Amino acid sequence: MSPTLDHTSGGCIAARQILDRVGDKWSIYIVMMLSEGPVRFNQLKRSIEGISQRMLTLTLRSLERDGLVTRTVFPTVPQSVEYALTDLGSTLLEPVSALAQWAQVNSTQIQRARADFDAGAGKADEQEVAGVTRIRFG
């Protein structure tokens, strides 16, 4: 393990804040769709399976507010609006991709752990119980 992992109080707060930002239901989908260049509103809506118009608007506004995406209106008729990652938004892709990669690498292990846990649920004699290796003093 790396000895330089940041698990200080500040690190916790920072982690939570960014997870609040990008941990919602749709943000990463949008960020990843925009990773290759600007995309129009309805293009996003079509390519992100299951997103509602409402949530697409809300999530884009929120990303725009945080300086992660830009919104550009083209006054054509009918109008079209393009969304694109800012430089800041682009840099976010790196740690997010690292997380995604971790997930892909360890997904089978997690699935097995879940299956094992669910299989053993309720069986008291399968629970891990340590012997009394220490006496309480206090």
Partner DNA sequence: CCGTATCCTCATCGATACTG
Partner DNA sequence: CAGTATCGATGAGGATACGG
Do the Cβ atoms of 50 and 25 come closer than 8 Å?
no
CA angle 61, 63, 66 (to 5 degrees): 110
- Does position 16 interact with DNA (CB under 7 A)? The reply is no
58 binds a copy of itself (CB under 8 A): no
What angle (nearest 5°) sits at the alpha carbon of residue 18, between those of residues 16 and 20?
Answer: 65
Interaction partner, residue 108 (DNA, a copy of itself, none; CB < 5-8 Å by kind): none
29 part of the interface to DNA, by CB under 7 A: no
69/66 Cα distance (integer angstroms): 8
Stretch that binds DNA, among 2-10, 56-64, 84-92, 113-121 (CB under 7 A): 56-64
Selection from a copy of itself, DNA, none that 47 binds (CB < 5 to 8 A by kind) is none
